[in-house]
Amino acid sequence: MSTQILRQVQNQDLAVRGLVESDLPRVMELEYLGYSHPWPVSVFQDCFKPQYRLWALMQGDELVGYAVVNYMVDEAHLLNVCVHPALRGQGAGRYLLRYAVAESIRDGMVQMILEVRQSNEAAAALYASEGFEEIGRRPGYYPDATGREDARVMVYRFT
């Protein structure tokens, strides 16, 4: 972790813990703040199964972000990552991403895969700066205001 990011995280009092079902009202608040087409609460509820890892990003006592990862054999699939809009660009998302990657490695996964909206340049740049590389596209993967938007498929191979 770079010294600058470490200082930002320390100054923000950020920590990660497991997400629990009682966090869902706050998760839904963040989901609606963060996405034009948010997941319904039922999708989050379906993620409380053994093959999922759900992480809560805390700033002091406040939940300010979350990540949802699905483990499939030896691959971690980052399904959803979100931080409060006020924390974007300050290292909070990077901190949460690095935590999810580190936990995936610790759990024996060999790579992490994700999809990101083609239009989400900031997220794609973050992922690329953390070692993810684009390996393809999924046409019409995401809903958008005019129909569908392509997804970039990115992977980070740990080995």
Going by their DSSP bridges, the two strands 14-18 and 147-157 should be labelled as unpaired
**What is d(CA 9, CA 51) in angstroms, rounded to the nearest whole number?**
29
Q: Work out the burial of residue 91: count CB atoms within 10 Å of its CB; fewer than 13 is exposed, 13-18 middle, 19 or more buried.
A: buried
**Catalytic residue list contains 141:** no
pLDDT digit string, tens, across residues 118-144: 999 999 999 999 999 999 999 999 988
Annotated binding site: 120
Cβ atoms of 141 and 109 closer than 8 Å: no
CB contact burial 2-22 (16+ within 10 A = b; e otherwise): eeeeeebbeebebebeebeee
User: 14-60 pLDDT, tens per residue?
Assistant: 999 999 999 999 999 999 999 889 999 999 999 999 999 999 999 99
Q: Indicate the annotated binding residues for acetyl-CoA.
A: 120
Please tell me which residue in 31, 66, 95, 115 is annotated as part of the active site. Answer: 115
Of residues 95, 127, 142, 156, which has the active-site annotation?
127
Query: Tens digits of per-residue pLDDT, 66-82?
Result: 999 999 999 999 999 99
**Residues 97 and 65: beta-carbon distance below 8 Å:** no
Contact by Cβ (8 Å): 154, 135 = yes
Of the candidates 81, 70, 74, 72, the residue with the CA atom closest to the CA atom of residue 16: 81
DSSP one-letter code for 40: P
Annotation says 127 is catalytic:
yes
Candidates 3.40.630.30, 3.30.565.10, 3.40.640.10, 3.40.50.12280; CATH matching 2-157 = 3.40.630.30
